[in-house]
Amino acid sequence: MDQPQSIRLNKFLAERLGLSRREADEAIVAGRVKIGDTVAQLGARVDFTSKVWYNGNIIPFNTDYLYIAFNKPVGYVCSRRAQGGAPTVYDLLPAKYRQLKTVGRLDKDSSGLIILTNDGDFAYQMTHPKFHKDKVYEVELDRPLEPLHQQMISDYGVMLDDGPSKFTVIKNEPAVSPAKDHKLGRAPSSASEAGGTRAHYIVKLSEGRNRQIRRTFAALGYRVTALHRTQFGPYQLAGLATGRYEEIAKA
């Protein structure tokens, strides 16, 4: 079998470590990367004979890539360390998956699909805005969305501190039931929610800015009471229970 051809060092680091190309370049410039006994330089190339070191640890040229779909519950953070008393999603995963990097984070109060992988190039293609990976969410608001506001978000966008936010909002009429609340990853937050009319919508967007959906609705005077991601690019939850995970194939 032919051995793999040489590749650029920054691409090698991105794929093996889950870094962006820019982060890989910064690591090289900072002197944290060696090829053999020599500090690496920008533009270097490596192949299967190279011994690449990053922060004192050797990075194998060949690696087995893993891709995990995980249905994140409410109350967990996507970082490796607990934050403010909130546990991390890695607490729910077996040890063999704890070195994987989350692709497309969800905040502590949100639930649903996240992908974890050790394939940095895949992570880059899933998250960089230029690849336009659609994400779909079930969103519950504290009150019905005014038609004018719905049109404003979908057709014109809402100006936030980090620029305009525009995404598709579609009215959704799910059955009010304990099963639905279980899918959203939480219990009803009030008696009115448990027995009254709730405002449910489907949101579809291709961006991934920090808390973008919550901030967009908040700018118009609404509070998101539940947010649950059901699709990320070609991947869907497809019945995966809350807190559960499964290995998936790269699409």
* Higher-confidence position of 245 and 48: 245
Distance CA 126, CA 134 (A): 9
Q: Which residues are catalytic?
A: 107
Domains of the chain: 7-59 (3.10.290.10), 67-125+241-247 (3.30.70.580), 134-232 (3.30.2350.10)
Mean pLDDT of the chain: 85
Distance CA 101, CA 145 (A): 35
pLDDT tens digits along 196-238: 456 999 999 988 788 999 999 999 999 999 999 999 999 999 8
Instruction: Please state the pTM of the whole predicted model.
Output: 0.74
pLDDT grade for 75, boundaries at 50, 70 and 90: very high
Distance CA 251, CA 176 (A): 34
The reported pLDDT for the residue numbered 71 is 97
